[in-house]
Amino acid sequence: MKSLLTPLLLIAFSLLATSATYAETANTRVQIHTGQAPALDQGQSQAQSKSKQITLNYASAVRTEQVLKDAQLQIAKHSLLTTPVYWLQAAIFTQPLEQEKSALLALIAEKQSEFDITDERYIALSTLHQFISSSHFAKRAALELDYDQTRITSSANPLLSGELTLQLPARSEQVWVLGAVTEAGAIKWQQRQSTAEYLEQAKAISAAENDTAVVIQPDSKIQTHPIAYWNERHHDIAPGAIIYLPFTGGWLAPLDNLGFDASGFNEINQAVVSLLRERVL
């Protein structure tokens, strides 16, 4: 009997050990991210820009509902948020976009080299470069996150797998204004305040688009808002949105053979907007 029990015990211990190893070697890893503010002041310390993070590990693909449930439990357990999750800005991100970020930074730096360091375009581009440099970007999954919806709608509850970042922030009380302005940065969000009113506070430079501005809403939707007195119409801006005022070549800008601005800012404007919608808080 003793000789029989010993192998059985060894097998049991072996199975337990294998099970523990399998649980630790998860193929779905979700990093919970509650948000942080990018630095526009070079003197800002790294400690000020960091946010608390916790990682969830799963042994296989897992439903979105389960991930959101586990994440909210961890947020409550570790007191990561003091207010409810702002679901409009909740998101799942996959692979980092470091190559796209580097390409945009190089593009901005190249454009800066065309101007004197005292030129308003150089200064505005420098501020934009700093914002992009201090921000993190990753591919945003095309999935609107809402915990209640995941429980009742199958299409809102897909399987998740791989290395993921789950962004579950509190609601921001700010709107970011970037681009062709002299005072880029965060401005306090005001209900029913228009894009043009935010831009008045940020002070557009002379080489700025004066017809329309681009708004990246917290859910990554891109909108074009008219801002001139002859075409302005009200569009709501949600807390946490980014307003980007495009650069132009100004009145003396060279024109291409079709009569369009050929100053070279279009490529920067398009690349900035495309990357900003993939920004991780």
- Secondary structure letter of residue 60 according to DSSP: S
CA distances from 214 to 98, 160, 195, 210 (A): 23, 32, 9, 12
170 with 160: CB under 8 angstroms? no
Please return the burial class of 63, using the count of CB atoms within 10 Å of its CB with bins 0-12, 13-18 and 19+: middle
- For residues 219 and 99, give the distance between their C-alpha atoms in angstroms, rounded to a whole number: 23
Q: Residue 74's closest CA among 142, 64, 66?
A: 66
Lowest mean pLDDT among 11-15, 37-41, 197-201: 11-15
Higher model confidence: residue 145 or residue 14? 145
pLDDT digits (tens, 9 = 90+) for 178-202: 999 999 999 999 999 999 999 999 9
The stretch 155-168 carries a mean pLDDT of 96
- CA 166 to chain CA mean position, Å: 11
- Res 6 pLDDT > 60: no
Question: Which pLDDT score, from 0 to 100, does residue 193 have?
Answer: 95
Q: Residue 136's closest CA among 265, 244, 31, 213?
A: 31
Q: Taken in order 184, 190, 196, 200, is the CA torsion positive or negative? A: negative
Question: Which pLDDT score, from 0 to 100, does residue 96 have?
Answer: 97
Higher model confidence: residue 18 or residue 270? 270
Question: Which pLDDT score, from 0 to 100, does residue 263 have?
Answer: 66
Q: How many residues does the chain have?
A: 281
Lowest mean pLDDT among 22-36, 143-157, 189-203, 262-276: 22-36
Cβ partners under 8 Å of residue 187, min gap 6: 174, 175, 176, 177, 198, 201, 202
Question: Which pLDDT score, from 0 to 100, does residue 253 have?
Answer: 53
pLDDT digits (tens, 9 = 90+) for 70-106: 999 999 999 999 999 999 999 999 999 999 999 999 9
Question: Which pLDDT score, from 0 to 100, does residue 38 have?
Answer: 60
- Across the beta sheet with 28-33, the strand order is 53-58, 28-33, 162-167, 91-96, 136-140, 279-280
Question: Which pLDDT score, from 0 to 100, does residue 37 have?
Answer: 56
With bands split at pLDDT 50, 70 and 90, how would you rate the model's confidence at 10?
A: very low
pLDDT digits (tens, 9 = 90+) for 40-75: 654 444 434 445 669 999 999 999 999 999 999 999
The stretch 26-30 carries a mean pLDDT of 84
- Res 4 pLDDT > 70: no
Question: Which pLDDT score, from 0 to 100, does residue 232 have?
Answer: 72
pLDDT digits (tens, 9 = 90+) for 234-276: 889 999 999 999 999 755 555 544 344 556 799 999 999 999 9
Task: Give 208-212's long-range contacts (Cβ < 8 A, gap of 24+).
Answer: 208/179, 208/180, 208/181, 208/245, 208/246, 208/247, 208/248, 209/180, 209/245, 209/246, 209/247, 209/248, 212/246
Question: Hey, what are 53's tokens?
Answer: 């993070």
Q: What percent of the chain has pLDDT over 90?
A: 75
Cβ partners under 8 Å of residue 252, min gap 6: none
Which residue do the tokens 């017809």 mark? Answer: 211
- Res 124 pLDDT > 50: yes
